[in-house]
Amino acid sequence: MTKPVLSIQNLVVDAELPDEKRRLIDGVSLELNKGEILGLVGESGSGKSLLCRSIVRLLPSSVIKINGGSVMLGDRNLVEASEADMLAVRGGKIGMIFQNPTSHLDPVMSIGDQIAEGIRFHKGLDKAKAREAAIEIMRQVGFSAPERQYANYPHEFSGGMRQRAMIAIALSCDPEILIADEPTTALDVTIQAQILQLLMHIRDQRGLSIILITHDLGVVAQTCDRIAVMRHGKLLEQGQKQDVLRHPCDPYTRNLIASHPSMPETVAAQPEIIQGRVPLLQVNDLHVRYPVAGGFFKTRTTSALKGVSLEVFAGETVGIVGESGSGKSTLARAILGLAPISEGSVTFNGLTLSAVRKEARPALRRDAAMVFQDPFNSLNPRMTIGDTLAEVLRVQGKVEEDRIPERINELLDLVGLDPSFAARKPRSMSGGQCQRAGIARALAVDPQLIIADECIAALDVTIQAQIVDLFRELKSKMQLTLLFIAHDLAVVRNLCERVVVMYHGKIVEEGPSAEVFTNPKQDYTRALIDAIPDIDPANSLFEKRILAEAS
């Protein structure tokens, strides 16, 4: 039997706090074989990232310590290795790709120099040869003009290209193992497919062994050979992906699979729109332009929206999809008067907001609300959830002062939070709980329309399912109209009756979800749909992409 390249045996990691010792990794045993892609799945807080950080001894705090077990890289136990030895292992033997490339790339150092830095440290090459090696790696990971792009800075690239730069840095010293920590979570489905295909290509080309950390079972099904499922610091089950996905042993794994948004085949039924009925929201030939630097006495603009027209009727759930930069969020902000309108108008409940007329803005802020993408950063960290909701209620003036505490409890109950959450601050809550609080804040306006802007993108698949179910329940209970912006087409397919597809600031296709997803008219829409990773490994994402590119 072939010896594994990495063997973890009974690993124990504790947080040694002043008043207690808290177990974070509880006796995990795991092996990684040569050329294998191992998918490590589980919710936030399950210990996936901490396990992988423990492998390379990059623990996030001095109070967190490895208190048992071994991590064998070949014949070397990394738990007992000196810090000098670990400097050679990190990057040289084990490379890491992190979830958010923006946070891990140096903003004042060119992409090329960041790749060359590791090459010079680990391989001892001079500056010129390290540059040549870095350019070659940039070419391998998909940079179109690496000689020129070598000098570019991270902010000059898209999210997908920044992630390619992170992969290049991780590969720069020819590691044996690559640890990819949620490398595609924040990316659009088409860019995600490109990055996953790149990782598989690099594995085949270099014989790399890869640990892929993710909460998306569709990604695992399409890329990994084996799956390991973690929860609360323990390894619940592991095995070949077909076995785990088709015959899961643990109830938690079954729940993860059931929560995956690509599983249900039914599409939300479209309510009948009565002819002659006036839409609640009407967007007419909307243009949004922003000024950009243009030198002396020159005014240049870039167009974020280019003549968008849209109608949304009361009680509808409309999904807006498209890649980053397609104009989805700009449209949402323009509707609420948070982005300047250059041309066109937004009519809400009979009142018009335009570049000239502003009458609709008070009505929009009174009767429409927004739920934001990042559940932590969208809440004030210094305020309790109760204070946040009370502030909205006082500004709106729809509730008497002495009734505010009662209304806060009602709002928390609506979103499935216990009244005790009124006294808690965001830092003491999970991402799902913070997002529920964000939805409660939106409901405090007593809105007719809620715009949810990528509100589940940062959440685990089980929490995503809970938030989507919550929206369904609220819509039914409160007769809400929902504008749901997302790059996860599988969620939109299951939640929304109608879908709008945006590309480069324009609407390129719209219609009932069942019709658009079954028979897309535009090649761009078809490419978005084909890029959704299916939880069934037999439905290969990459075969579809190859066929699409060939045709």
pLDDT, tens digit (0-9, with 9 covering 90-100), for 134-152? 999 898 888 888 998 999 9
Buried b (16+ CB within 10 A) or exposed e, 315-344: bbbbbbbbbbbbbbbbbbbbbbbebebbeb
CA 282 to chain CA mean position, Å: 30
The amino acid occupying position 209 is: S
Structure confidence at residue 188 (pLDDT): 77
With H, G, I as helix, E, B as strand and everything else as coil, classify residue 516.
helix
Mean pLDDT value across the chain: 86
4 CB contacts (<8 Å, ≥6 apart)? Answer: 31, 32, 33, 34
* 37 beta partners: 210
Geometric angle at alpha carbon 501, from 500 and 504, rounded to 5°: 135
Structure confidence at residue 294 (pLDDT): 55
Nearest alpha carbon to residue 50 among 217, 302, 231: 231
- Alpha-carbon Rg for the chain in angstroms: 25
> Can you read off the two tokens belonging to residue 525?
């829409």
Residues 320/485, Cβ–Cβ less than 8 Å: yes
Q: Rounded to the nearest 10 degrees, how much is the dihedral formed by the CA atoms of 129, 130, 136, 142?
A: -160
What would the mean pLDDT of 499-525 be, rounded to a whole number? 92
The CA distance from 224 to 39, in Å, is: 6
How far, in Å, are 3, 6, 56 from residue 81 at the CA level? 20, 15, 10
Structure confidence at residue 158 (pLDDT): 72
Return the CATH class of domain 281-293+303-534: alpha beta
Of 71-75, 162-166, 237-241, 508-512, the one with minimum mean pLDDT is 162-166
The yes-or-no verdict on residue 270 having pLDDT over 70 is no
Pairing verdict, β 37-41 and 481-485: unpaired
The CA distance from 5 to 177, in Å, is: 8
The yes-or-no verdict on residue 550 having pLDDT over 50 is no
pTM: 0.78
Residues 238/211, Cβ–Cβ less than 8 Å: no
Cα distance from N-terminal residue to C-terminal residue, the chain: 43
pLDDT band at 276 (very low <50, low <70, confident <90, very high): low
The yes-or-no verdict on residue 267 having pLDDT over 60 is no
The yes-or-no verdict on residue 551 having pLDDT over 70 is no
Provide the angle, in degrees to the nearest 10, between the axes of the packed helices 189-206 and 523-530: 50
The yes-or-no verdict on residue 341 having pLDDT over 60 is yes
Of 53-67, 173-187, 407-421, the one with minimum mean pLDDT is 173-187
What would the mean pLDDT of 190-202 be, rounded to a whole number? 85
Residues 248/254, Cβ–Cβ less than 8 Å: yes
The CA distance from 243 to 511, in Å, is: 38
How far, in Å, are 123, 443, 446 from residue 385 at the CA level? 52, 13, 17
Of 34-43, 459-468, 501-510, the one with minimum mean pLDDT is 459-468
Range with top average pLDDT, 41-45, 429-433, 443-447: 443-447
The yes-or-no verdict on residue 527 having pLDDT over 70 is yes
Nearest alpha carbon to residue 119 among 97, 102, 134: 134
pLDDT band at 543 (very low <50, low <70, confident <90, very high): low
* Other beta carbons less than 10 A from residue 80's beta carbon: 10
> Can you read off the two tokens belonging to residue 10?
């009974």
pLDDT band at 263 (very low <50, low <70, confident <90, very high): very low
The string of pLDDT tens digits covering residues 383-421 is 999 999 999 999 888 889 999 999 999 999 989 889 999
The CA distance from 179 to 497, in Å, is: 39
The CA distance from 95 to 116, in Å, is: 14
What would the mean pLDDT of 37-49 be, rounded to a whole number? 88
Residues 450/480, Cβ–Cβ less than 8 Å: yes
Structure confidence at residue 408 (pLDDT): 94
Pairing verdict, β 94-97 and 64-73: unpaired
